[in-house]
């Protein structure tokens, strides 16, 4: 039997998603907790791996098990054994054709920036902080140039192992909500550090250090050296993947997260 599950986590306490030598990781903790409920070792596959410090509102995973449990037992049992920075949100049986990564047709990320001259305290580790005023209108206008299918080599980290730098961005918006700036981006997939590198470039434009046209120039250069600095990990949230063939799976808008992140 194959199960899909939704997972929420605060990435500030983890060395990213993927199991590795450094510990703890989200995958390691989740597999251990699920294994306690299933009574056998469990391997999970996720929709999109996240780096150290990056958060998730509704990461989707799948795993195979012969264990028969209802959704309440999977959720409550797993959360009993999970690190407090991770929460299993739901679990649903799916067909064997489902794959959390390969059946997703898009991924939705959000980058949050606290834009005030005083550093954050309550939101520390959960937002990026830029003390200098940012012009959200300039950032949004610049972002228009990145929508569509492009070679994103300029926004690709050196360690990226993807075969191709071409990705299709379906949506890229920048808006202000009081002292917070939000960058929403949806794409079929992302190259390594793509969202954080785009955010760093847009921040430079928002501060007036670069013209609005610079985003298009950076994209055309296909050279990481000409783009802005990589924005901090703590501002980045993986909201959810999209599964057009599985509309019954809950989305980030249905998991009860605070409105500012779920809209």
**Residues facing 46 on adjacent strands:** 61
Both ends of the chain: CA-CA distance in Å? Answer: 33
Question: Looking at the chain, which runs of residues are DSSP E strands?
Answer: 2-9, 45-46, 55-64, 86-94, 106-114, 128-129, 148-151, 166-177, 180-187, 236-242
- Quote the tokens at residue 218: 């950076």
- The residue annotated as part of the active site, out of 51, 135, 151, 173, is 51
d(CA 245, CA 4): 13
Helix (H) or strand (E) holding 206: helix 194-206
Q: Where are the alpha helices (DSSP H) in 8-87?
A: 26-38, 71-81
d(CA 238, CA 171): 15
User: Is residue 51 flagged as an active site residue?
Assistant: yes
Phi, psi of 46 (to 5 degrees): -110, 165
* Rg over CA atoms, the chain: 19
d(CA 153, CA 1): 40
Contact 15, 22 (CB under 8 A): yes
Helix (H) or strand (E) holding 259: helix 259-262
Q: Which residues are catalytic?
A: 51
């Amino acid at each position: 039997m194959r199960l899909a599950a939704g997972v929420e986590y605060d990435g500030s306490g983890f060395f990213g998603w993927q199991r590795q030598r450094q510990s703890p990781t989200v995958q390691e903790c989740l597999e251990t907790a699920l294994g306690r409920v299933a009574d056998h070792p469990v391997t999970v596959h996720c929709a999109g791996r996240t780096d150290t410090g990056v958060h998730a509102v509704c990461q989707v995973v799948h795993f195979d098990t012969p264990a028969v449990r209802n959704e309440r037992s999977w959720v409550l049992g797993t959360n009993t054994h999970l690190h407090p920075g991770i929460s299993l949100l739901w679990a649903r049986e799916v067909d064997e054709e489902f794959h959390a990564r390969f059946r997703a047709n898009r991924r939705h990320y959000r980058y949050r920036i606290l834009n005030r001259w005083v550093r954050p305290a309550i939101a520390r580790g959960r937002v990026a902080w830029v003390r200098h005023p940012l012009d959200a209108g300039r950032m949004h206008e610049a972002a228009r140039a990145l929508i569509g299918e492009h070679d994103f080599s300029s926004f690709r980290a050196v360690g990226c192992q993807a075969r191709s730098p071409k990705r299709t961005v379906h949506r890229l918006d920048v808006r202000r909500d009081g002292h917070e700036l939000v960058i929403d981006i949806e794409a079929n997939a992302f190259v390594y550090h793509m969202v954080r590198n785009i955010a760093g470039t847009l921040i430079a434009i928002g501060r007036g250090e670069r013209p609005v046209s610079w985003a298009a120039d950076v994209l055309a250069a296909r050279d990481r050296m000409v783009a802005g600095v990589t924005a901090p990990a703590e501002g980045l949230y993986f909201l959810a993947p999209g599964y057009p063939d599985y509309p019954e799976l809950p989305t980030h808008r249905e998991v009860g997260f605070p409105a500012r992140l779920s809209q």
